A and B are shown apart, each in its own frame.
Chain A
């Protein structure tokens, strides 16, 4: 889903040139067809989907999928088949540990001071008892990992998400999350250290390991999803948005989520009356 491997094989300059090319090619694919303005339901649906450059985004998605099939998927599969579970868990824990400063920073920016303290305590426990983050001792003690990022911070600050975006290599996003990504990159102490000390290898290595860890962890879920969905692109778009909303709300149920009401589930009369309404309107 999040394909981030290419960054590892392309130098920054090359990758920016590549992005421009991909973007130019994608722009030629064009924009989504606006719905019939006489059909208010179709207009509402179009606005809800909020994917004005859909054909372009689909072209980028196809490119990302090709990249996944060629590189990330086989590498992740080999990784989960060969590396022992203990190793994979250690790698996953260590990657989460490296994110701690960014999480802490965003906890503070969101005014979540209790979470900020939790993040700090986790960092201390896992650095010491957890052997530099290889073990998630804090979670074993009931202090669980909670991710935050600057995209979520912007959402807490009431910035709207904007239209759906499919980023080349990086996968599903929106302007808010794309900005968040860039900000997180620049405030990450590890990245600052790498840049200041010319340790060029660290950033791409971490990005690659992160991508493989994510893909391997969700390997079956992604395969199942691709297999059973009719339109994988639309499925990913929906899942990405729901997942982000959940993360922004810190897992608390969003009351505005459309809940299928039981009336619709058992009561056929309701459907009939809805039907009559429609025929009367026409």
Chain B
């Protein structure tokens, strides 16, 4: 076949077109999106199935929720991000204690309400790929008591084959961002020391653990 100049002028367009339709990135992100959507759906169903039994002793529910939380959330990653620049200043022992206390705080704060919350029907209506490793899954949760649907966005991160929730955004308010302000404020009040935050976390988690319901 003879190639005439006119045909050549189509070449760039052709290449762009081919690039778009056969880009491995696009097909990967499409499946990543689906994967993340399924992940959030499963997470909600699992919460209803496993975490809603109010008759179980609280200690048992705490253990169960801890496992669930670690399975589905990037717990230490979120913890590190919340601490931000203070993470770098903390020594090894402080870091280890902080991550443990952060997990404890999340577990004892959410054990009594997470199931009640996610226990309501969850409608996923959209998902959006941010980059190769981050997808946001948008959902509405219809509350039992007459109120309007609550908008909940799940930020799902990926590392290799592992998917984890990195943030939950309720009506535009990010859990991670709010905790970052909360913890940051305590550190500032206590002389910029992570040790001050650890002290506050120890008191708070102990109090919440005692508190039944």
Contact = CB atoms under 8 A, between A and B. Distances in A.
A247 B151 CA distance: 12
B151 A265 contact: no
Interface string B100-126: 000001000100010000000000000
Interface string B130-163: 1001101000000001111001010101110010
Given A265-B159, A266-B159, A243 B172 contact: yes
Given A230-B200, A230-B201, A253-B136, A260 B167 contact: yes
Q: Is the interface of A mostly helix, strand, loop or mixed?
A: helix
B51 interface: no
Interface stretch (A14-22, A69-77, A179-187, A232-240): A232-240
A235 B74 CA distance: 22
B186 A257 contact: no
B39 interface: no
Interface stretch (B3-11, B13-21, B53-61, B174-182): B174-182
Interface residues of B, number: 54
Contacts of A243: 171-173
**Which of A45, A92, A243, A259 has its CB near the most chain B CB atoms (within 10 A)?**
A259
Nearest to B163: A262
B201 A85 contact: no
Interface residues of A, number: 48
Nearest to B128: A253
Contacts of A235: 178, 181-182
Given A224-B109, A253-B136, A271-B80, A259 B155 contact: yes
Interface of A: 41-42, 45, 49, 85, 88-89, 92, 139, 144-145, 217, 220, 224, 227-231, 233-235, 237-239, 242-243, 245-247, 249, 251, 253, 257-267, 271, 274-275, 278
26 contacts: A88-B146, A227-B109, A228-B208, A230-B183, A234-B181, A234-B185, A234-B186, A237-B181, A238-B173, A238-B177, A239-B178, A242-B172, A253-B153, A257-B177, A259-B166, A259-B167, A260-B81, A260-B167, A260-B176, A262-B134, A262-B158, A263-B133, A265-B76, A265-B77, A265-B159, A266-B77
Interface of B: 74, 76-78, 80-81, 85, 87-88, 105, 109, 113, 128, 130, 133-134, 136, 145-148, 151, 153, 155, 157-159, 162, 164, 166-167, 171-174, 176-178, 180-186, 188-189, 192, 197, 200-201, 204, 208, 211
Given A85-B146, A274-B88, 10 more contacts: A88-B146, A139-B148, A144-B148, A224-B109, A230-B204, A234-B181, A243-B171, A253-B128, A260-B78, A260-B155
